[in-house]
A and B are shown apart, each in its own frame.
Chain A
Amino acid sequence: QVQLVESGGGVVQPGRSLRLSCAASGFTFSSYGMHWVRQAPGKGLEWVAGIWFDGSNKYYADSVKGRFTISRDNSKNTLYLQINSLRAEDTSVYHCAREVRRDFDYWGQGTLVTVSS
Chain B
Amino acid sequence: DIQMTQSPSSLSASVGDRVTITCRASQTIRTYLNWYQHKPGKAPNLLIYAASTLQSGVPSRFSGSGSGTDFTLTISSLRPEDFATYYCQQSHSNPLTFGGGTKVEIK
Q: B-contacting residues of A (Cβ < 8 Å)?
A: 4, 35, 37, 44-47, 50, 59-62, 95, 97, 100-110
B97 interface hit (Cβ, 8 Å): yes
Question: Secondary structure at chain B's binding surface: helix, strand, loop or mixed?
Answer: loop
**Contact A103/B49 with A47-B96, A47-B97, A50-B96 known, Cβ cut-off 8 Å:** yes
Q: Which chain B residue has the least Cβ–Cβ distance from A97?
A: B44
**Contact A101/B43 with A44-B98, A46-B98, A62-B1 known, Cβ cut-off 8 Å:** no
Which residues of B are found within 8 Å of A110, using beta-carbon distances?
43
B87 interface hit (Cβ, 8 Å): yes
What bracket does the count of chain B residues touching chain A fall in?
20 to 34
- Among all A-B residue pairs, the 5 with the closest Cβ atoms: A102-B91, A107-B43, A103-B34, A44-B101, A47-B96
Number of A-B contacts (CB under 8 A): 63
Which residues of B are found within 8 Å of A37, using beta-carbon distances?
44, 98
Q: A-contacting residues of B (Cβ < 8 Å)?
A: 1, 32, 34, 36, 38, 41-46, 49-50, 55, 85, 87, 89, 91, 94-101
- Complex CA–CA separation, A85 to B99 (angstroms): 27
B42 touches A109 (CB 8 A): yes
Q: Which chain B residue has the least Cβ–Cβ distance from A62?
A: B95
Which residues of B are found within 8 Å of A59, using beta-carbon distances?
94-95
